[in-house]
């Protein structure tokens, strides 16, 4: 029996990056031998065990064969006869198909170390094209390692293109897709993930609403980059530069979907795109079963981001409606995320990345003014039920008028 460290742990050590998760492969062992050594079985589809002391996962070396559609359409074979090289060849990229023994001796049958040095993301074997999830994984790795200069090998991009055209991507479950998308959006350069998906034709299959934005012009006076798709990538890039959470990054990706529906004869203007885009944002949310907080913020940012940009011009009554829509009294964090999403939108424009955004502090101040209106005096005056709500609204409107005069 031989035990090897494999995959990301080996890759990241060679890249000089922190190693977080370690995968182990056991060659030459049976299930019975693993159990006898105290390992606890956890794998339903293939033999995976938890180490009796560390709790880390150890998988028996295995081969796999395509048996159906999608990510789960494989049958696995694990036995003591399966070699390390046979286990490694089923992996996605050469840089993930290396192994180390306990002396850090490298096993690299598919030249992963060379591709690390050449900054290439390359598939291990033609079997790459059997698993549609790998399209998303490669795009995610491209986003993760973009700062190191990694690019996708042309042959690998071609296999990704074939997968995108085959209909296999539709076999992915919402849960598996969201897991990859959400991880990719939290990388340092998530815009690279979207660009790679677009380069291989996967974006128009997975998110046609986002793909439709490319080539759609906007007024140059507000958008020097002109192209709505390029703008969306830039907004996403800004959200990562400013270390925004997943909720904000998701909203940034979807905020302008309505512009993809504007009739060409109305270009480059996009009147009421905030409202026309809501049904598209809802469709993308539901397609990937995004978490509730991501769904809610994306819809609110889509609907109100132009309000954010025009905050200094809004009437007190409109400001109050905006604050009520976000329930800033019970959910202040959601309004803060809206503000930063608007700021990322303003910065995601060619040459305007460093622009100031006074609307942010203005909106924070407005929310503070409305929140500071006390309920107790109104209760003492005998207001209750719906009448209390109306009285509170009137007092908040007064507070916002005072705030506007003094801002």
In what helix (H) or strand (E) does residue 2 lie, and over which residues does it extend? Answer: strand 2-6
Which superfamily, per CATH, for 1-115?
Beta Polymerase, domain 2 (3.30.460.10)
Residue 73 has pLDDT above 70, yes or no: no
pLDDT of 189 reads: 98
Q: What is the pLDDT of residues 162-185, one digit of tens each?
A: 999 999 999 999 999 999 999 999
Q: What is the pLDDT of residues 84-115, one digit of tens each?
A: 999 999 999 999 999 999 999 999 999 999 99
**DSSP letters of 46-68?**
S-EEE-TTT--EEEE-EEEEE-S
Residue 151, strand partner residues: 120
Residue 69 has pLDDT above 60, yes or no: no
Q: Round to whole Å and give the CA distance between 289 and 181.
A: 11
Q: What is the pLDDT of residues 310-335, one digit of tens each?
A: 999 999 999 999 999 999 999 999 99
Q: What does pTM read for this prediction?
A: 0.93
> Which of these, 206, 171, 204, 144, lies nearest to 72 by C-alpha position?
171
pLDDT of 47 reads: 86
CA distances from 405 to 142, 151, 309, 312 (A): 50, 54, 19, 11
pLDDT of 59 reads: 94
pLDDT of 21 reads: 84
């Amino acid at each position: 029996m031989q035990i090897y460290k494999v995959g990301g742990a080996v890759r990241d050590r060679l890249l000089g990056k922190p190693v977080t998760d370690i995968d182990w492969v056991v060659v030459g062992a049976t299930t019975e031998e693993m159990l006898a050594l105290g390992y606890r079985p956890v794998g339903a589809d293939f033999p995976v065990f938890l180490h009796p002391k560390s709790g880390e996962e150890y998988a028996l070396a295995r081969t796999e064969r395509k048996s159906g559609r999608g990510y789960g359409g494989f049958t696995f074979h694990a036995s003591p006869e399966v070699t390390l090289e046979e286990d490694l060849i089923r992996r996605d990229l050469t840089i993930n198909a290396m192994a180390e023994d306990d002396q850090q001796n490298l096993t690299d049958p598919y030249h992963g170390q060379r591709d690390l040095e050449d900054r290439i993301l390359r598939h291990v074997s033609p079997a790459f094209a059997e698993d549609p999830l790998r399209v998303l994984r490669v795009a995610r790795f491209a986003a993760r390692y973009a700062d190191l200069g990694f690019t996708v090998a042309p042959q690998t991009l071609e296999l990704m293109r074939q997968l995108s055209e085959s209909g296999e991507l539709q076999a992915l479950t919402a849960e598996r897709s969201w897991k990859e998308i959400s991880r990719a959006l939290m990388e340092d350069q998530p815009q690279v993930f979207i660009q790679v998906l677009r380069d291989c034709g996967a974006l128009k299959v997975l998110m046609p609403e986002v793909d439709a934005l490319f080539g759609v012009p906007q007024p140059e006076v507000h958008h020097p980059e002109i192209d709505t798709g390029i703008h969306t990538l830039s907004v996403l890039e800004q959200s990562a530069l400013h270390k925004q959470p997943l909720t904000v990054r998701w909203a940034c990706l979807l905020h302008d979907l309505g512009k993809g529906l504007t009739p060409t004869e109305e270009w480059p203007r996009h009147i009421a795109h905030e409202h026309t885009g809501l049904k598209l944002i809802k469709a993308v949310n539901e397609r990937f079963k995004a978490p509730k907080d991501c769904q809610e913020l994306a819809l609110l940012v889509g609907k109100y981001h132009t309000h954010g940009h025009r905050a200094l011009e809004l009437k007190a009554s409109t400001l109050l409606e905006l604050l009520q829509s976000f329930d800033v009294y019970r959910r202040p964090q959601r309004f803060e995320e809206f503000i930063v999403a608007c700021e990322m939108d303003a910065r995601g424009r060619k040459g305007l990345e460093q622009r100031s955004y006074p609307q942010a502090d203005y909106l924070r101040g407005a929310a503070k003014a409305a929140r500071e209106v006390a309920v107790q005096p109104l209760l003492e005056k005998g207001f209750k039920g719906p009448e209390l709500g109306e009285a509170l609204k009137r007092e908040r409107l007064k507070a916002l008028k005072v705030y506007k005069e003094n801002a």
